[in-house]
């Protein structure tokens, strides 16, 4: 394997992708997780698990960004950054991620 120089831009791109993945899961939209486990769509716990996987991915990228000294909070609203810092995906995160439906466009 060759040497890979990791840049802040690389992590910010990964962060943006993880945020979009979480928001798509939150909005019950198609994600790559659906392609990996298509049989799970038939099970009620699927959407909870899909959100948990996306949240875990987001937290992993944030943790790596923090360890590398890369500022990540600018990509989120103040409340969203607060939720991520708490690291617990609670019902409040699920219900209030967008704060209000009027001020924030859901992912497409």
Question: DSSP states of 37-99 as a string?
Answer: -GGGGGSTTHHHHHHHHHHHHHHHHHHHHHHTT---GGGS-HHHHHHHHH----HHHHHHTTS
Residue 105 lies in a domain: no
**Residue 33: which domain range?**
8-96
Residue 41 lies in a domain: yes
What pLDDT was estimated at residue 7?
79
Task: Give the number of residues written for the chain.
Answer: 108
Residue 85 lies in a domain: yes
Total domains in the fold of the chain: 1
Low-confidence residues of the chain, pLDDT below 70? Answer: 1-6, 100-108
Residue 73 lies in a domain: yes
What pLDDT was estimated at residue 2?
47
Residue 107 lies in a domain: no
Overall pTM surpassing 0.85 (yes/no): no
Residue 13 lies in a domain: yes
Cα 56 → chain centroid: 7
Residue 104 lies in a domain: no
Residue 2 lies in a domain: no
Q: Tell me the CA distances in angstroms from 92 to 36, 51, 63, 95, 104, one per residue in order.
A: 28, 14, 21, 5, 17
Phi, psi of 5 (to 5 degrees): -90, 115
């Amino acid at each position: 394997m060759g040497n890979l120089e990791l840049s802040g831009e690389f992590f910010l791109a990964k962060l943006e992708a993880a945020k979009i993945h979480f928001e798509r899961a939150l909005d019950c939209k198609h994600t790559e997780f659906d392609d990996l486990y298509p049989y799970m769509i038939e099970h009620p716990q699927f959407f909870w698990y899909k959100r948990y996987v996306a949240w875990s991915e987001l937290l992993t990228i944030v943790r790596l960004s923090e360890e590398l000294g890369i500022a990540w909070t600018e990509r989120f609203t103040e409340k969203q950054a607060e939720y991520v810092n708490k690291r617990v995906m609670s019902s409040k995160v699920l219900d209030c991620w967008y704060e209000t439906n009027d001020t924030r466009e859901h992912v497409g």
